[in-house]
Amino acid sequence: MSEAYNYQLLLKHILEYGVNYAPKQEVVYRDLRRFTYRDIYERVHRLASALEELGVKKGTKVAVLDWDSNRYLECYFAIPMMGAVLHTVNVRLSPEDLLYTMQHAEDEVVLVYKDFVPLVESISDKLDTVKNYVVMTDDTMPETKLTDIEYEEMLKKASPNYEFPDFDENTMATLSYTTGTTGRPKGVWFTHRKLVLHTLAGSVALTGIRSPLRLTGDNEVYMPLTPMFHVHAWGVPYMSWLLGLKHVYPGRYEPQMIAKLVLTEKVTYSHCVPTILQMIVDNLPEGFKFPGWKVLIGGAKLPKGLALRAREKGIYTMAAYGMSETCPALTGGFLKPHLLNVDEEKKLDLSIKTGIPFPLVYVRVVHDDFTDVKPDEQDMGEVVVRAPWLTDSYLKDPEKTKELWEGGWLHTGDIAVMDEEGYITIVDRLKDVVKSGGEWISTLTLENLLSLHPKVREVAVIGVPDEKWGERPLAIIVPMPGEKPTQEELREHLMKFVEEGKITKWAVPDRFEIVDEIPKTSVGKIDKKVLRQMYSR
Ligand code: AMP
């Protein structure tokens, strides 16, 4: 037997590295509390001791329901590092789906922030696997029948001397549920090995690979604006800890608080879905400009119009692409070295494309028979991927797993085109693309072009049934305040792009609906399923 230490890729090594490198670095929670990395490190140990007292062992599923907070960061480390499984619960699910996911996961301990106590109380008599609850609060303990254990009190009483064990790096660390627009949510899970490799590759990508969002300053400050239940806030809290950055956690997302934290804590780096960016841009006072805030945009297509409006407000954006099943990093609008000298307009176009792979990721765009599309930005196919951090399976669902991994590549269900440099652009989801007279019309391309009209604030395009063509595109538009774009104006705007050859004339919608609001999913994306139900009659 070799004496060599069998080093397993465990999350504890990320925690250890960050605290040793940056012990005095700060972790800030709203305008309420401040900690150093050392404090957080100690609190992680106390949390593990306390959870052990509550019966948490290797394999125990521990559910967390909280807004973005230092507490959540502590759970990101302590729970998996004990060998237990962190279930990041999507707090925006309906009570029925929430119950389904918590029963399906077989959660045994539930840590719940006070805002969600009524929600959990409403289903607690059916949560038959749960043995203990812990309530998290910023002030006083709310009245509840769930428990009298409060997180801060529990930590105070617990021992700071917990020893995190070594174990197999292939142990399950985290579990979350897809927000799937069809059927029940599906469980996706990641091991320590996958999370560690995702953290390393992501850190290289954020700091080492050329992009408009590269972290280059000595004083970069990180604040997530993707909920921590949504694929580990895209894994960026782990990366930021490894890099020793200051963290700012905003709690519940409120535009005023977000703007205040960006300015007072000097936040330089965030990530969010386009809807949140839209909310921030829309709520800023006239003439206001951030001193330079880099915001990675993923989860949905970043429309060029929004990227331009954000830039006027001092917010610099870049697109990234991934999904719940993929941990999530797959591609980003990184710049290849030989493209660094292209003009600003072209740079913007590259950075809002879906992009090129993160390190260690292989991306192909393939036809039904698995042949690769031509790199001509026209030929469409499905994006299939390989990376060391993709989920191996849907929890307890062999049938869906088989579909996901058909042919040894993970099927994303997204349709894309590729350019000659290898940059992909997602043009739609397989289930959203408009099939009109035998042609595929990309709803995302239409949304992007319509976003450039000065009177358009937000836009969604869906396919609606049509007797002659099978389906036709319908554009649903939220106008800029005080504006009322006419059908003719919008059609003329798109005809310019027909003339330039960017879209075919069949892609121009016959109808534009002007509305006050577009429905969103639980993670803030445009809900096309609901829109189709509303407009498909
Ligand atoms: P979720 O599993 O909820 O994170 O959703 C993943 C899906 O969001 C992907 O399969 C894509 O359809 C979509 N998506 C994510 N990032 C992008 C992007 N940069 N551009 C277009 N669609 C995206």
Q: What is the 3-state secondary structure (H, E, C) of 123-167?
A: HHHHCCCCCEEEEECCCCCCCCCCCCCEHHHHHHHCCCCCCCCCC
Residue 355 to residue 497: CA distance in whole angstroms: 22
Any idea which residue has 């930590």 for tokens? 155
The residue whose CB lies within 8 Å of the most ligand 1 atoms, and thus the one to mutate among 213, 229, 272, 301, is 301
Burial string for 188-212 (b: 16+ CB within 10 Å, else e) reads: bbbbbbbbbbbbbbbbebbeebebb
Q: Quick one: average pLDDT of 83-107?
A: 94
How confident is residue 2, by pLDDT bands cut at 50, 70 and 90? confident
Q: Quick one: average pLDDT of 131-150?
A: 97
Distance between Cα 412 and ligand 1 center (Å)? 9
Catalytic residues: 178, 325, 435, 440
Residue 301 to residue 307: CA distance in whole angstroms: 11
User: For residue 182, what pLDDT is reported?
Assistant: 62
Tell me which residue has its CA closest to atom 23 in ligand 1: 300
Distance between Cα 324 and ligand 1 center (Å)? 9
Domains of the chain from N-terminus onward? 18-189 (3.40.50.12780), 191-429 (3.40.50.12780), 434-535 (3.30.300.30)
User: For residue 180, what pLDDT is reported?
Assistant: 63
The residue whose CB lies within 8 Å of the most ligand 1 atoms, and thus the one to mutate among 88, 321, 446, is 321
Residue 299 to residue 319: CA distance in whole angstroms: 9
Compute, in degrees rounded to 10, the torsion defined by CA atoms 148, 153, 155, 160: -130
Please provide residue 363's backbone torsions phi and psi, each rounded to the nearest 5 degrees.
-125, 130
Q: Quick one: average pLDDT of 467-489?
A: 94
Q: With 70 as the cut, is the pLDDT of residue 388 above it?
A: yes
Joined tokens for residue 379: 């030929």
Atom of ligand 1 nearest to the CA of 319: 19
Cβ within 8 Å of residue 483, ≥6 positions away: 455
Query: Any idea which of 26-30, 131-135, 158-162, 445-449 has the lowest mean pLDDT?
Result: 445-449
Tell me which residue has its CA closest to atom 9 in ligand 1: 323
Tell me which residue has its CA closest to atom 15 in ligand 1: 299
Atom of ligand 1 nearest to the CA of 178: 2
Distance between Cα 426 and ligand 1 center (Å)? 9
The residue whose CB lies within 8 Å of the most ligand 1 atoms, and thus the one to mutate among 188, 390, 414, is 414
Tell me which residue has its CA closest to atom 10 in ligand 1: 323
User: For residue 440, what pLDDT is reported?
Assistant: 85
Tens-digit pLDDT profile for residues 280-309: 998 888 899 999 999 999 999 999 999 999
Tell me which residue has its CA closest to atom 21 in ligand 1: 301
Residue 1 to residue 319: CA distance in whole angstroms: 49
User: For residue 522, what pLDDT is reported?
Assistant: 84
Task: Return the higher-pLDDT residue of 501 and 385.
Answer: 385
Atom of ligand 1 nearest to the CA of 231: 4
Q: With 90 as the cut, is the pLDDT of residue 437 above it?
A: no
Distance between Cα 154 and ligand 1 center (Å)? 38
User: For residue 79, what pLDDT is reported?
Assistant: 98
Cβ within 8 Å of residue 374, ≥6 positions away: none
Residue 147 to residue 436: CA distance in whole angstroms: 56
User: For residue 181, what pLDDT is reported?
Assistant: 59
With vertex at residue 377, the alpha carbon angle to CA 376 and CA 378, rounded to the nearest 5 degrees, is 90
Atom of ligand 1 nearest to the CA of 331: 19
Asked if 514 contacts 170 with a C-beta cutoff of 8 angstroms, the reply is no
Atom of ligand 1 nearest to the CA of 325: 2
Does the predicted TM-score (pTM) go above 0.85? Answer: yes
Distance between Cα 181 and ligand 1 center (Å)? 12
Q: Which H or E element spans position 475?
A: strand 470-479
Q: With 90 as the cut, is the pLDDT of residue 100 above it?
A: yes
Distance between Cα 65 and ligand 1 center (Å)? 23
Q: With 90 as the cut, is the pLDDT of residue 115 above it?
A: yes
Residue 177 to residue 116: CA distance in whole angstroms: 18
Tell me which residue has its CA closest to atom 8 in ligand 1: 299
Q: In a 10 Å sphere around its CB, with 0-12 CB exposed, 13-18 middle and 19+ buried, how is residue 488 labelled?
A: exposed
User: For residue 537, what pLDDT is reported?
Assistant: 66
User: For residue 59, what pLDDT is reported?
Assistant: 98
Q: Residue 259 forms beta bridges with which residues? A: none
Distance between Cα 433 and ligand 1 center (Å)? 14
Tens-digit pLDDT profile for residues 212-247: 899 998 899 999 999 999 999 999 999 999 999 999
User: For residue 431, what pLDDT is reported?
Assistant: 86
How confident is residue 512, by pLDDT bands cut at 50, 70 and 90? very high
Tell me which residue has its CA closest to atom 22 in ligand 1: 300
Residue 356 to residue 330: CA distance in whole angstroms: 8
- Strand 362-366 and strand 61-65: the pairing is unpaired
Distance between Cα 301 and ligand 1 center (Å)? 7
Task: Return the higher-pLDDT residue of 421 and 521.
Answer: 421
Tell me which residue has its CA closest to atom 7 in ligand 1: 323
Cis peptide, bond prior to residue 337, ω within 30 of zero: no
Tens-digit pLDDT profile for residues 322-378: 999 999 999 999 999 999 999 999 999 999 999 999 999 999 999 999 999 999 999
Q: Residue 319 forms beta bridges with which residues? A: 297
Distance between Cα 4 and ligand 1 center (Å)? 42
Tens-digit pLDDT profile for residues 144-176: 999 999 999 999 999 999 999 999 999 999 999
Considering the chain, what is the average pLDDT of its residues? 95
Tell me which residue has its CA closest to atom 6 in ligand 1: 323
Pocket of ligand 1 (CB under 6 A): 178-179, 231, 298-301, 319-321, 323-324, 328, 354, 412-414, 426, 429, 523
